[in-house]
């Protein structure tokens, strides 16, 4: 008896879920407010994508600058070692 009650309950929940999907999924078109909200979100996404691209370019420029400075430091260390060797230290 408990098994039948459980099956009826599961069936009722499934029918309720499917009915909800049916009624909410059958709207003809989005209304004006929903379209404006969608357009606003699309504009915001485009703006954020441009900002991300700009930040990535800035990051690449900074990484290049760091690499150049690191190469300069390494060159100076090599020059320092050469001077020490020539001075006999």
Which residue ranges make up each domain of the chain? 2-87
DSSP string, the chain: -HHHHHHHHHHHHHHHHHHHHHHHTT-SS--HHHHHHHHHHHHHHHHHHHHHHHHHHHHHHHHHHHHHHHHHHHHHHHHHHHHHHHHT-
**pLDDT of res. 79:** 95
Residue-wise pLDDT for 35-63, tens only, equals 999 999 999 999 999 999 999 999 999 99
Residue of 54 and 8 predicted with greater confidence? 54
Record the pTM.
0.54
């Amino acid at each position: 008896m408990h098994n039948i009650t459980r099956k009826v309950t599961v069936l009722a929940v499934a029918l309720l879920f499917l009915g909800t999907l049916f009624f909410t999924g059958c709207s003809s078109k989005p209304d004006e407010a929903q379209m404006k909200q969608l357009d606003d979100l699309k504009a915001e996404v485009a703006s954020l994508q441009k900002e991300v691209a700009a930040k990535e370019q800035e990051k690449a420029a900074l990484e290049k600058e760091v690499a150049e400075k690191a190469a300069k430091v390494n060159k100076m260390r090599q020059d320092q070692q050469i001077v020490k060797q020539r001075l006999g230290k």
